[in-house]
Amino acid sequence: MRLLKYIGKRLFWGLIVLIFVSFFSFLIIQLPPGDFLTSYLARLEKAGMSFDDATMTALRHSYGLDQPFFVQYWKWVSRFARGDMGVSFLYMERVDKIIIERLPATLLLTFSSLFIIYLISIPLGIYSARHQYSVGDFATAIFGFIGMATPSFLLALVLMWLTYEKFGVSIGGLQSPYFMQQSMSMAKIWDLIKHLPVPIIVITVAGTANLIRTMRGTLLDELDRQYVTTARAKGLTERKLIRKYPVRAAMNPIISAGGWILPELFSGQIVAAIVLGLPTIGPVLYRALLGEDMFLAAGCVMIISFLTIIGFLISDIVLALADPRIRFN
């Protein structure tokens, strides 16, 4: 029961944050100088659509441009909540359609990256803590430092160049052009898998480096604690007691530190996606910003923020489930 109340509270705050973010997103639309509708319509005109005065006035009114700021905002938000995110003139499409098309790839990439990060970091972190100052520990540390210092776009460029040089394969995008038209088949899936390693490496490097360090540091702290000695004095094997006590206790800071990972992934994959040409929401946001396609831009910011907030929520819930100290407090 307590848990449900906790979740409810977090959901409520998530909603508030989302409203705050919507305000911020709308602000972005308004920031460029000039009436956004005028420049917007001017672009649509350039793209081939034409409007007569009556339509322009009607549009103006429906977007509330003759109204004060907050009315405009309200109109945009209420439309957005109903699923009408406006139209993109860059793609000549409804914004929600553009975003939904790219949602699966975004989620696939993010969650598989999350999985990989945990899969690699936890064993490596434990190893580093238990064998402090060994060769493996140093190697991991060096990898970590370089991983954190290299900007993701750089890593993407280097890896692209390497695979190009070594394998003669150009690995932009998640699927070779040939397979994009084809229907699902084993070959198509294999092609997809071939394209996954480089994006995943680029996206996971920074997170992995960070998490390994955190795991190592936290575990080192826990290994010094009294209850570890108590467990040893009971006659447990070293391996069993390390896993059962300090690792388990270190998992909580890891999970809460991991709480950062999922949201950061949604944000961090954007640059890699841009450089590698992945079919996710990131490159769309980028193009929208460069091309001043404001509805698309605002829509992307909202969706990415929404995903980020969900990410935080998931990690909060997982942490509450994992730590009895939070549950029974």
To the nearest whole angstrom, how small is the minimum distance from the Cβ of residue 300 to another protein? 7
* Residue span binding another protein (CB under 8 A) among the ranges 26-34, 88-96, 112-120, 193-201: 26-34
Given a contact cutoff of 8 angstroms between Cβ atoms, the answer to whether 203 and 109 are in contact is: yes
- Based on CB atoms, which residue is closest to another protein, 112 or 150? 150
Give the type of residue at 230.
Answer: T
d(CA 275, CA 252): 35
- Based on CB atoms, which residue is closest to another protein, 84 or 292? 292
Per CB under 8 A, 300 contacts another protein? yes
Please report, as residue ranges, which positions from 258 to 297 form the binding site for another protein (by CB under 8 A): 263-264, 266-268, 270-271, 274-275, 285-286, 289-290, 292, 297
Mask: binding to another protein, 108-147, rule CB under 8 A, as x and -? Answer: -------------------------------------xx-
Given a contact cutoff of 8 angstroms between Cβ atoms, the answer to whether 12 and 314 are in contact is: no
- Based on CB atoms, which residue is closest to another protein, 188 or 314? 314
Neighbour count for residue 82 (Cβ, 10 Å)? 8
Mask: binding to another protein, 157-186, rule CB under 8 A, as x and -? Answer: xx-xx--xx---------------------
Extract the tokens encoding 175.
């699927």
Helix (H) or strand (E) holding 257: helix 248-276
d(CA 98, CA 121): 35
d(CA 323, CA 251): 9
Per CB under 8 A, 9 contacts another protein? no
Q: Which one of 98, 114, 126, 231 is in contact with another protein (CB under 8 A)?
A: 231
Total count of residues recorded for the chain? 329
Helix (H) or strand (E) holding 87: strand 87-88
Per CB under 8 A, 245 contacts another protein? yes
User: Minimal CA–CA distance to 209: which of 264, 157, 248, 168?
Assistant: 264
Q: Which one of 6, 127, 143, 153 is in contact with another protein (CB under 8 A)?
A: 153
Given a contact cutoff of 8 angstroms between Cβ atoms, the answer to whether 302 and 80 are in contact is: yes
Extract the tokens encoding 238.
């070293």
Q: Residues in the site for another protein, rule: CB under 8 A?
A: 13, 16-17, 20-21, 24-25, 28, 31-33, 145-146, 148-154, 157-158, 160-161, 164-165, 225-227, 229-238, 244-245, 248-249, 252, 263-264, 266-268, 270-271, 274-275, 285-286, 289-290, 292, 297, 300-301, 304-305, 308-309, 312, 323-325, 328
